[in-house]
Amino acid sequence: MDKATFAAGCFWGVEAAFRQIEGVASTTVGYTGGHLPNATYEDVCSGRTGHAEAVLVEFDPAAVSYERLLEVFWQEHNPTTLNRQGPDIGSQYRSAIFYHSPEQQAAAEASKARLAASGRYSRPIVTEITAAGPFCRAEEYHQQYLEKRGLARCH
């Protein structure tokens, strides 16, 4: 299994999207990209930890490519809004790809460049691409939040 980590706003809907992809073995929502060890939801919501709400995806690269996961990531949010997705505002809702290998970094940068050149968006893509660091698992009530409530999407 390989790992991929994506931040695209509120992690509930992003997690639900990745769980639908054949070849994804598991998803975990949590917090990454910040400086506080063992961050909690309350910590992250303060806006002072530097964390993003993110989804850690474990996937079988023989069944689904990292490039396919990148496609889902780009489809699930607006990568041109800085620190905002829909009604959610704050740096914890930023658009980010946290790569786990040089190959993932190259693929992420190439896909971002292709999307930017496509003309799909009139504004610049603000998605950060950075090395994966410590990942703090979110509280249990956040895990598979929408699925537990019989919902497929947030909005």
List pLDDT tens digits, range 114-127: 999 999 999 999 99
Give the residue among 30, 21, 103 at the shortest CA–CA distance from 69: 21
Higher pLDDT residue, 154 or 99?
A: 99
Enter the tokens of residue 100: 């786990």
Report the share of the chain in percent with pLDDT over 90: 84
CB 3 within 8 A of CB 57: yes
> pTM for this one?
0.94
The DSSP-derived string for 51-64 is -EEEEEEEE-TTTS
Spell out the domains of the chain, with CATH numbers in brackets: 2-148 (3.30.1060.10)
Q: Which residues contact 53 (CB under 8 A, 6 or more apart)?
A: 7, 9, 10, 11, 29, 30, 31, 44, 92, 93, 138
| Residue 10 is a catalytic residue | yes
What is the predicted pLDDT for the residue at 117?
Answer: 96
The answer on pLDDT for 155 being more than 60 is no
What is the overall mean pLDDT for the chain?
Answer: 93
Position 145 scores a pLDDT of: 66
Residue 151 clears pLDDT 90, i.e. is over it = no
Of the candidates 10, 45, 136, 154, the residue annotated as catalytic is 10
Per-residue pLDDT reduced to its tens digit, 30-72? 999 999 999 999 999 999 999 999 999 999 999 999 999 999 9
